[in-house]
Structure 1
Amino acid sequence: MTFRHKVLLLCTLCIFYLFFLTLSQLQANKSDLFSEENDNLVNFEPPQSWQLDPESEITPDPLTTPSTLLPSASPALPIIDPDEKYITFFTHSGFQNQLIQVENGILLAWYLNRTLILPKALLGEPFGWSPFDKLHLEHMIRDRSTSTNCDEYTIEIQQWNISCPNRERYALLPFDEIFDLSWAKQNVKIILRDQSDLNWLETQFGIQRGGEESRPSGSYVDGDILFFKGETRYDWRIFDTPRKAHRLGKYAASLDIYQLRERSEKLIHFSSLFGTGKLPIRRPEHYEFLRTLQRSITYRHPAVLQLAEELVRRLGGAGNFMGLHIRSGDGWFVKALPENINSTVSQINRVVAPTDQWPLTSKVTAGFALSLEQCLELAKTNNITLIYMATDARAPRSTPAFDPLWANNPCTFTIDDLMGPDDEAWMALDKEKHELSGKSMRKFLVPLVDATVASRGWLFIGSKGSTFSGYIHRLHDVFWSNQKMQTIESNDG
């Protein structure tokens, strides 16, 4: 045998060796990924009993960043893609809590490289958390296609002991009509959930059920759908790293994104994604994504921004006043209102010396109220602090709990102080019509205007424990950070 033939034979043997070695490794990896241990989401039990095998050790490949440039626009009638996978959930509670759930949904969809089917935003009268089937019903009876008296859901309404909602007390809008989701859509494909029934999902996306008997709670597969039906609002806590044991806090059970990534079902349907602690983050790149996402979600509704800018102009422009938010309308905040007011006054006094205001205090308490024009003139010479207060209080001027604020800060104004009921500026909101009743959307959009104006103050002070105050803080930070950047860029130019 020649030297050349010996070399060819040796090379051939090496190639066969490498081929079989690689094949065995691939088979081992495939076994790890699809073993019963890591695929144990097929046979589901309620969250309290569903746990990972404590003796197992999940060692996934290093986390790769999900695809970051998916289509930014969602078609009204999406073409069915047999390979596309989705995730969805039901919103509930107040408007700001709904936004937290939406942010969780976008983050989870990004983790899993799934298309987010996003419910509409509910403005006005809310409904709280409920088990999956009741939450589902609450959404369906508010769908545009449902009759005014909810006749098609009479049996279900009686079963859950709820009422058909008054359409004049709520309004539904797509989240991306209210908020700027452009950055989110660069990273996650988002489709509007136009109807809440499961048949709509089948018609639009080919997501079929398999005839499995519906369960009130727990986790199970029905055809193309993997359901997670929590027994409490704090059901599954979803982690971004795999561990044998997680700190659950008030949550009932844990999941991690590696387990969810392995799922082949076309749709993962959660009952709720409620809570700021729902998706704890340990990886810095995930935190950066969430931080950027949250800072990108600001109001974009044209009518809201138009009226807000007019009110800011009447107050002398952005930075000419201080912004406040006093929540008082419901829950714990009703009883805490006097304490909240006193805390706000104390915070103002730490920033603005009370002695700058006291010569005017006696006039105000004696019945000599200051007009906006007077306050604007005094503010020009730094003789008084001009304040804009966003609040859900129906009549703060006649509510005794607000008296310490008026006495200490007489140049404090609300939206009703700046605009009479027949002010032409209201047209910005009045031209927006309710989808079902055809009436003005004013009462549903005023809180958004309130928040926007308060965020334009040189300082913002909110109500302790209010998620709405937390969001206004975010708007304030984003607005003034952008102003600073624009100033720097103009100076460099």
Structure 2
Amino acid sequence: MAMYTVNSRLSAPSPTVALEKGAYRMRAPPPPSRLRRRTRSSANPASARALGLLPHARERRLVLLLLLLVCATLACFGAAYYLFSTRCAAPGARDAPADAPRVVVDFRPYLGGSAERPAHRGEGRGAGLGGSVADPVAVRPAVMSLSVAPSRYAMSLSSSGSVPNVRDKSSSASEDAEERFLSYLPHSGFHNQRIAFENALVLARLLNRTLLVPPVRLGSRPLFYKPFDELSANLAANASKAGLEHCQDAVVTPAAKSEQAEEQEDELDTPVFPEECEGYFEYTNVPWDWLVDLSGIRANQRLVARWNFTDAWLEEQLDITANETYALRDLDRNDFGFQDFVPRAKPTARKYREYIYIPILAERPERLLQLGTLFGSARLHLRNRENAELRKRVRQAMAFANAPLLTAADTIRSALGGAYLAAHVRVGDGLFEENGAETVRRVWWKLLRALGHADGEILALERTLLADALDGADWDPDMRAPPKIAPDGPALRTPHPPLPPLPRPRGRRMQCPAPLHTSAALRALNTPLFLATDAHDPRTHPLLGPLVRTFPCAFFLRDFGRATAPLARLESGEDGVRLGPFLMPFLDAMVAGQAWAVVGTEGSTFSTFVEDVLWRTYHGWEIVQRG
């Protein structure tokens, strides 16, 4: 058997490796005689050209043809992507690319500067030369104008930096030995924290005390309510990420986890990521001032940031000892309510077991009044008109005023044409998912009533438009009566000016996801509808089918990737956590709040906030007060 010595750099055709039945087979190059014959036939260029045998010329033409085909393919894909992404005037991916530059938000100006603070992200790595740490993203007034000019806020790009520990020191520490303070224990999700913060602001003002303001905890790892001592210890141990600074470099993304796991697959004794870092990126803390505009409140009362819930912080920063603290220790979330009047008789129906008379509480001499939970819209029972007006101003200040959020909301509002309907629909979990069909039917009815349809017309439309969509749904199969929608007493007691006429749907630049209604009786249903929802894959979610089927111009937040992309780039300078995922529900609510008319989910605190506060504040109207 002839043996071949092959040099892959010198031989014209490289050996080919083929796999057949588990064995590798080497295919040898052509015999030398054939190579010699090919060389001789190519010795005469003229005859070779005549016979079309110049291999290099053929290869060049083939390469050019392939390049042309590749360019044409790329051009087609590019054109298709452009046409797809420019629909609704809101193209782009939902999230910023993984390699997109980060925008690191510096929270220190909200908490007070200190020369003793550790280095912030970017400090010590050229931040002074390049300004790699972003300036704080400011808030701006929440009342919406009809123009959609983008907000202007100062921020710079950063790609590196270290994590600060902004909670350990505070320049806001009291220098007045007689200053008295109020503190409380936050817990649960954002809206529970918001309601507790509202109550704390009002109480601090009525008690003439400086409020110690905790951060807002965002994400999927809330600290749930516990009795006073247990919740206090939990906050002291878990509210801070102090000592976990290494976690931001240990695991940044799931992709990084996978990559690190592959690198360490042979190192069985080395963990993929530290155990203490589990859940590090699932929550973060931000200052209240970064989300809402507290300037009006600060003009009338003093606020001090408190991101550390230990007794040591109180003694070190405020010189307050345990002997100077008066604590109301609740064992249940309904233990204590507060009121500004003395009732003539003990009420028969009481939500809270004990009501504390606020003027008596104001006489406490201790420097620190420490409360437990303050969640509950009815926890403060106020009859004094000035006190009720104070609470209204505080609640109105809770409308989101964060500049990046307002810019994104303005952009989406403009893409929707400025005048649109909105619904805040919760069907994602718990009782909201269990009662989803009934919830969606109520929302559907409220929307058609907002468009001016009478109940008889709505019943007829329900039978005709939704006959197929209702298969398998838990709606009333006979559709003989409207759903039970109780009158909203607090909203009726706070009327708003009449809505301006909704512009008739006409030719728009946006491309609606479904064909428009052509019947004159149904053209009002071509009005754009923005659906703010917690449903996964909302466009195909079966519970939302009736809304999508009825309104061909129904849109979701994920349809506006270009507007949301800048939010995905925001990163906390405090702990290195990306802020974008935590801000999307707020943006959802803000877009709904800017609509011509908005309806919400009954029983949802979030929906109530959208209808009572955001929608009315963004339109410049008086908010609805409950409790």
Q: Shared fold by TM > 0.5?
A: yes
Equivalent residue for 1:286? 387
Query: Which TM-score applies when normalising by structure 2?
Result: 0.55
Q: Give per-residue Cα distances to partners, 1:306-337, cap 9 Å, x unaligned.
A: 211111121112xx111110112333212111
Whether 1:116 aligns to 2:211 is: yes
Whether 1:242 aligns to 2:342 is: yes
Contact 1:80 1:206 in 2 (8 A): no
Equivalent residue for 1:406? 548
Equivalent residue for 2:446? 347
Equivalent residue for 1:169? 282
Equivalent residue for 1:96? 191
| Alpha-carbon spacing, 1:362–1:335, altered in 2? closer, same or farther (3 Å) | closer
Whether 1:477 aligns to 2:616 is: yes
Instruction: Choose the corresponding residue for 1:305, options 406, 428, 451.
Output: 406
Instruction: Choose the corresponding residue for 1:145, options 242, 262, 268.
Output: 242
| Structure 2 stretches lacking a partner, 5+ long | 1-109, 113-169, 248-275, 471-507, 518-522, 623-627
Secondary structure of 2:511's aligned partner: helix
Secondary structure of 2:381's aligned partner: coil
How far does residue 203 in structure 1 lie from its aligned partner after superposition? Answer: 1.1
How far does residue 344 in structure 1 lie from its aligned partner after superposition? Answer: 0.6
Which residue identity lines up with residue 339 of structure 1 in the other structure?
Answer: E
How far does residue 139 in structure 1 lie from its aligned partner after superposition? Answer: 2.2
Secondary structure of 2:571's aligned partner: coil
Contact 2:469 2:546 in 1 (8 A): no
Secondary structure of 2:337's aligned partner: strand
Contact 1:462 1:469 in 2 (8 A): yes
Equivalent residue for 1:186? 299
Equivalent residue for 1:336? 435
Moved more, 336-345 or 140-149: 140-149
Instruction: Choose the corresponding residue for 1:275, options 357, 373, 376.
Output: 376
How far does residue 435 in structure 1 lie from its aligned partner after superposition? Answer: 4.4
Aligned equivalents of 1:178, 1:87: Cα separation in 2 = 22
Which residue identity lines up with residue 239 of structure 2 in the other structure?
Answer: R
Whether 1:321 aligns to 2:420 is: yes
Equivalent residue for 1:230? 330
Contact 1:357 1:409 in 2 (8 A): no
Equivalent residue for 1:136? 232
How far does residue 148 in structure 1 lie from its aligned partner after superposition? Answer: 7.1
Contact 2:514 2:552 in 1 (8 A): no
Instruction: Choose the corresponding residue for 2:582, options 444, 448, 458.
Output: 444
Q: Give per-residue Cα distances to partners, 1:162-193, cap 9 Å, x unaligned.
A: x9871211111111111111222122211111
Aligned equivalents of 1:349, 1:243: Cα separation in 2 = 44
Q: Give per-residue Cα distances to partners, 1:365-385, cap 9 Å, x unaligned.
A: 9xxxx9942479969x85612
Aligned equivalents of 1:378, 1:124: Cα separation in 2 = 38
Which residue identity lines up with residue 465 of structure 1 in the other structure?
Answer: G
| Count of paired positions | 376
**Larger proportion of helix:** 1
Secondary structure of 2:620's aligned partner: helix
Q: Give per-residue Cα distances to partners, 1:24-65, cap 9 Å, x unaligned.
A: xxxxxxxxxxxxxxxxxxxxxxxxxxxxxxxxxxxxxxxxxx
Equivalent residue for 1:153? none
Instruction: Choose the corresponding residue for 2:600, options 459, 462, 465.
Output: 462
Contact 2:465 2:550 in 1 (8 A): no
Contact 1:356 1:384 in 2 (8 A): no
Which residue identity lines up with residue 400 of structure 1 in the other structure?
Answer: P
Aligned equivalents of 1:333, 1:98: Cα separation in 2 = 21
Equivalent residue for 1:57? none
How far does residue 430 in structure 1 lie from its aligned partner after superposition? Answer: 2.4
Which aligned pairs between 1:71-90 and structure 2 lie closer than 5 A?
75=112, 76-78=170-172, 79-90=174-185
Q: Which has the larger radius of gyration?
A: 2
Q: Which has the higher contact order (CA 8 A, sep 6+)?
A: 2
How far does residue 149 in structure 1 lie from its aligned partner after superposition? Answer: 11
| Alpha-carbon spacing, 1:131–1:148, altered in 2? closer, same or farther (3 Å) | farther
Contact 1:364 1:410 in 2 (8 A): no
Secondary structure of 1:107's aligned partner: helix
How far does residue 304 in structure 1 lie from its aligned partner after superposition? Answer: 1.2
Aligned equivalents of 1:206, 1:388: Cα separation in 2 = 52
Secondary structure of 2:194's aligned partner: helix
Aligned equivalents of 2:564, 2:511: Cα separation in 1 = 21
How far does residue 109 in structure 1 lie from its aligned partner after superposition? Answer: 0.4
Which aligned pairs between 1:417-436 and structure 2 lie closer than 5 A?
417-419=559-561, 423=562, 425-435=563-573
How far does residue 198 in structure 1 lie from its aligned partner after superposition? Answer: 1.6
Secondary structure of 1:242's aligned partner: coil
How far does residue 137 in structure 1 lie from its aligned partner after superposition? Answer: 3.3
Aligned equivalents of 2:436, 2:468: Cα separation in 1 = 25
Equivalent residue for 1:218? none
Aligned equivalents of 1:86, 1:376: Cα separation in 2 = 57
How far does residue 204 in structure 1 lie from its aligned partner after superposition? Answer: 1.2
How far does residue 398 in structure 1 lie from its aligned partner after superposition? Answer: 2.8
Contact 1:80 1:204 in 2 (8 A): no
How far does residue 469 in structure 1 lie from its aligned partner after superposition? Answer: 0.9
Aligned equivalents of 1:445, 1:74: Cα separation in 2 = 21
Aligned equivalents of 1:167, 1:310: Cα separation in 2 = 32
Aligned equivalents of 1:148, 1:306: Cα separation in 2 = 31
Aligned equivalents of 2:559, 2:461: Cα separation in 1 = 23
Aligned equivalents of 1:197, 1:146: Cα separation in 2 = 15
Equivalent residue for 2:223? 127
Contact 2:421 2:598 in 1 (8 A): yes
Whether 1:207 aligns to 2:307 is: no
How far does residue 242 in structure 1 lie from its aligned partner after superposition? Answer: 3.0
Aligned equivalents of 2:524, 2:584: Cα separation in 1 = 30
How far does residue 339 in structure 1 lie from its aligned partner after superposition? Answer: 1.0
Contact 1:92 1:129 in 2 (8 A): yes
| Alpha-carbon spacing, 1:82–1:259, altered in 2? closer, same or farther (3 Å) | same
Aligned equivalents of 1:481, 1:358: Cα separation in 2 = 38
| Structure 1 stretches lacking a partner, 5+ long | 1-72, 151-162, 210-222, 484-493
Contact 1:117 1:191 in 2 (8 A): yes
Which residue identity lines up with residue 186 of structure 2 in the other structure?
Answer: T
